Structure 1
Amino acid sequence: MAETTVKGFFEGLREKLNAKPEKVAGMNCVYQFRVTDAAWNVKLADGKAAVAEGEAPSPNCTITMAEADFLDLVSGKLNGQMAFLTGKLKVAGDMGLALKLGSFIG
């Protein structure tokens, strides 16, 4: 995977998701990612994705991770379920949305 930083991952995510709208079809939600000291939000609506740096006003699902663990997750080195079970990935809000993460961020 070309992204080697959290910022690089999120900067390329909108284009990646909008290139394959079937991955987010039918989803209407806001994900908040807190990765170490950085915050990013991803809004999915009408088959389109919008990615912004910072906190979203009212996210449906918040994911909190350390930077190294997040980079391992998006590169495929870390399994999302294992990360959750071992406390490396924390979820607040809609758990159903958290389960759908793997279908579009990996």
Structure 2
Amino acid sequence: MSAAIIAKLHDRFDAQAAQGMDAVFQFHFSDAGDHHLVVRNGTLDIREGEHDEPSVSLSMHSATLKKVMSGELNGMSAFMSGKLRATGNVMLATQLTRLFPGD
């Protein structure tokens, strides 16, 4: 994941929406390695690598994440078309747009 994407995630993070949440979003990027987001009671920590016990794991190309986060591509459409694969608490993935609202 590029430093620019990480910075943008930090900038867009809605701490209010994350109050009371304790979740780990694992990302497996086909072109950029593994990263995980730890969202804990209004805070965000982004780390490289794999987490031992992610709440949900998402596999995709980094361009797919950019499109979903920008609103250019609907997350459910990406999932249904096979551009995004999810395991674990899949419903948690639907919270990403609430945690990282558009501009």
Structure 1 length normalisation: TM-score? 0.81
Partner of 1:10: 6
CA separation of 1:89/1:13 partners in 2, compared to 1, >3 Å: closer, same or farther?
same
Q: 1:35 aligns with which of 24, 29, 33?
A: 29
- Larger RCO, structure (CA 8 Å, separation 6 or more): 2
Q: 1:21 aligns with which of 15, 18, 22?
A: 15
Q: Is the 8 A contact 1:34 1:65 kept in 2?
A: yes
Q: Which runs of 5+ in 1 are unaligned?
A: 1-5
* Alpha-carbon distance in structure 1 between the residues aligned to 2:87 and 2:100: 18
Alignment RMSD (CA, Å): 1.6
State percent identity of aligned pairs: 28
Q: Is the 8 A contact 1:10 1:40 kept in 2?
A: no
Size of the aligned set, in residue pairs, is 99
SS of 2:94's partner is helix
Structure 2 length normalisation: TM-score? 0.83
Deviations 1:55-94 (A, max 9, x none): 1111110011112222221222111111111111111100
Q: Is the 8 A contact 2:20 2:42 kept in 1?
A: yes
* Alpha-carbon distance in structure 1 between the residues aligned to 2:59 and 2:42: 25
* Alpha-carbon distance in structure 2 between the residues aligned to 1:46 and 1:30: 12
Greater per-residue helix proportion: 1
